Amino acid sequence: MKLIFEKSVPGRGMSLLPPCDVDLVAMPAGLERETMPQLPEMSETDISRHYTELNQHVHGVNCGFYPLGSCTMKYNPRIDEEMAALPGFTQIHPLAPADATEGCREVLDTAKRYLCEVSGMDDMTFQPAAGAHGEFTGVLLIKQYHDARGDKKRTKIIVPDSAHGTNPATAAMCGFEVVNIASAPNGCVDLEALKAALGDDTAGLMLTNPNTVGIFDENILEITRLVHEAGGLCYYDGANLNAVMGVVRPGDMGFDCIHMNLHKTFATPHGGGGPGAGAVGCKAFLAEYLPKSALMDGPGRLQVRGFAGNFLVVVKALTYIMTLGREGIPEAARNAVLNANYLMRKIQGTFEPAFDRICMHEFVLDLSGFKKETGVSALDVAKSLIDYGMHPPTMYFPLIVHEALMLEPTETESRETLDWAAEVFRQLYELAHKDPEFMHNAPHNAQIGRPDEVRAARNPVLRWQKS
Amino acid sequence: MNFPAELKYSKSHEWVKMDGDVAVIGISDFAQDALGDVVFINLPGEGDSVTAGEAFGDVESVKAVSDIISPVTGVICAVNEDLADAPENLNSDPYGAWIIKVENITGQEDLLDAAAYEALCAEEG
């Protein structure tokens, strides 16, 4: 498909703006640009078709099954969009007078109260734009806490080897040394390895529970106790909160601060690069270090983003919480867990789970034996799924499982969809034994086959330029 | 898994073969298996210096990008440029697909023999 710039025809256009009815004012000399911007020139019809065509190239939750592990691609209820589109929310500026923004402030306060209740935290900021930004903010709270106490020797953050790559990256970005600890054979934190890593140089531990292999770490109270005993703080990565929201609270597990991906767990559309919201919550003793908006809350404190962050994402999350209510939130979590276990057991017998036990909201298949047998890799299976109209699961993650496929069906899929997905996996398992070559070349029916991902990553072309 | 007895191994999973005064270096069978399908290799240049324990290039697999650590200190006298076009050879023939040859060797890491390396892999595996 052609880029919109390549479809441009000089002189073609349409009238978006009414004729100017005030006197024109010339730009001050020296500020006018020397060349015209290279904007595409198109008719409204062609623009409409261009974006419709783009839409047809995309696979979203509204198109089909999307079991992308740890990304929680649940259905986003339309009512969330309707609320976020209310003019009272969209036609307001954060610098409007206080009496004009009372409603918006009430949304923020109510969302904070509910999300603190869900997470077991005492205070919260909505500034961070998404998960990794939230991690960065949360770990800075830990840093600030130690610095404020003059405890300068705490230079290390402990991260298990099953963690999301953003965890060690965050710790490093915050100036900490990352200590990677190996997981126990059951995929959980190895208590002995943790004890060996802890010391008076420990600033904190970053953990997600349930962890990245979809298992709830039953030693969590012991883990957070050990870290606190060593003088460190515990950071909860909310990536997998969907499995436990309303059922068990990170604050009660012993965590001191947390980020929640409102765009994942609380159902606002994501996956296209934003906007998201990485709300950061903390216990009361860390609240004084939370970022504030210099313009909304008064000067003095640092901010990690302007004003209240991506406000409309918070509106959607609040709508979601209020729609589901106190009963609905834990029910969604339980259904997410049920769906994952159902799908895992349905697929088992062909592709095998890496950890054969009850999982939480997601599970990991280990295709290393299958690959040795057939030569077909996890990548080949993922690409083959595209031909069935299914978004591939997360591949090759977590790193502790070889040839990993990580599936998270979420609570919003029906039993029929899960049965169909399991049937697709069974067919691919058989196909791999009969015609592996066919799978090496998949997908066969997609708009794009296998893009050169290495070249795209190493030599990205991010900007169209007139040839 | 294959651990040729005539080679020495580093704890970071590179193999070394001494060919007179020249060290031939590649990545082990265990390393290629753990990496998964290799899709790219970032090679150094001939004449570059390498230092024992420090990275001289990196390999990218479907999973991750990993440094390749030099087991010796010296100067690169040959680079296997074929790997740039066919990095998958690191998977199919890890001991044939050498990466660099190093001369003027002035130091090396503590290297393991095949039996000790096999034991290390069993522990990590």
Instruction: Residue B77: give its domain's CATH number.
Output: 2.40.50.100
Angstrom distance (rounded) from CA A106 to CA A99: 12
Q: Is residue B1 part of a domain?
A: no
Beta pairing, strands A156-160 & A177-181: parallel
Contact A186, A234 (CB under 8 A): no
Q: Do B39 and A453 touch (CB under 8 A)?
A: yes
Q: Does B88 touch chain A (CB under 8 A)?
A: no
Q: Give the pLDDT of residue A454.
A: 86
| Contact call for residues A385 and A428 (beta carbons, < 8 A) | yes
pLDDT (0 to 100) of residue A465 = 84
pLDDT in tens, A193-251: 999 999 999 999 999 999 988 999 999 999 999 999 999 999 999 999 999 999 999 99
Please check whether residue B85 lies inside any domain of the structure.
yes
Q: What domains can you pick out in chain A, each with its CATH number?
A: 1-19+39-57 (no CATH), 78-321 (3.40.640.10), 328-455 (3.90.1150.10)
Q: Is residue B77 part of a domain?
A: yes
What are A330's two structure tokens? 């834990």
Question: How is residue A150 annotated by DSSP?
Answer: T
ipTM over 0.85: no
Cβ separation of A454 and B39 shorter than 8 Å? yes
At A382 the pLDDT is 97
Name the residue range of residue B20's domain: 8-108
What is the mean pLDDT of the segment spanning A14-30? 87
Q: Give the Cα separation of A105 and A100 in Å (integer).
A: 10
Q: What is the mean pLDDT of residues A158-166?
A: 91
B63 touches chain A (CB under 8 A): yes
Asked whether residue B119 is assigned to any structural domain, the reply reads no
Output the pLDDT for position A15: 77
Q: Is B115 contained in some domain? A: no
Tokens 């789970």 found at: A353
With contact defined as beta carbons under 8 Å apart, do A3 and A51 qualify?
no
Give the pTM.
Answer: 0.90
Q: Which residues of B touch A453 (CB under 8 A)?
A: 39
Pairs across A and B, CB distance < 8 A: 24
pLDDT tier for residue A175 given thresholds of 50, 70 and 90: very high
Average pLDDT, chain A: 94
The tokens describing A106, both together, are 């009430």
Which member of B34, B60, B62 has the closest CB to residue A395?
A: B62
CB spacing of A402 vs B40 below 8 angstroms: no
Q: Which among B37, B40, B64 has CB closest to A377? A: B37
pLDDT at A296 over 80: no
Phi, psi at B77, each rounded to 5°: -110, -10
In the predicted model, what is the mean pLDDT of chain B?
Answer: 95
Distance (Å) from the alpha carbon of B37 to chain A's nearest alpha carbon: 9
Given pLDDT bands bounded at 50, 70 and 90, which one contains residue B59?
A: very high
The residues facing A366 across adjacent strands are A404
Residue in B closest to A379 by C-alpha: B62
pLDDT confidence of residue A187? 86
Q: Locate all alpha helices (DSSP H) within A280-367, ordered by sequence.
A: 311-347
Q: Which residue in chain A is spatially nearest to B34 when comparing CA positions?
A: A402
Cross-strand bridge partners of residue A177: A156
Task: Judge whether B33 is closer than 8 Å to chain A, CB to CB.
Answer: yes
Peptide bond into A275 cis (omega under 30): yes
Kindly report the backbone phi and psi dihedral angles of residue A440, in degrees, each rounded to the nearest multiple of 5, phi listed first.
-60, -25
**Which position has the higher pLDDT, A463 or B10?**
B10
> What residues in A contact B88, CB-CB < 8 Å?
none
**Contact (CB, 8 A) for B32 and B38:** yes
What percent of chain A is modeled with pLDDT above 70? 99
Mean pLDDT of B97-103: 97
In a domain, B50, yes or no: yes
Handedness of CA A92, A98, A103, A104 (dihedral sign): positive
Nearest to A241 by CA among A265, A277, A222, A259: A265
Read off the amino acid at residue A231.
G
Tokens linked to B102: 């190093």
C-alpha A85/C-alpha A81 separation (Å) is 6
pLDDT at B64: 85
B37 contacts A379? CB cut-off 8 A: yes
Task: Give me the pLDDT at residue A295, please.
Answer: 74
**Chain B: residue nearest A394 by CA?**
B63
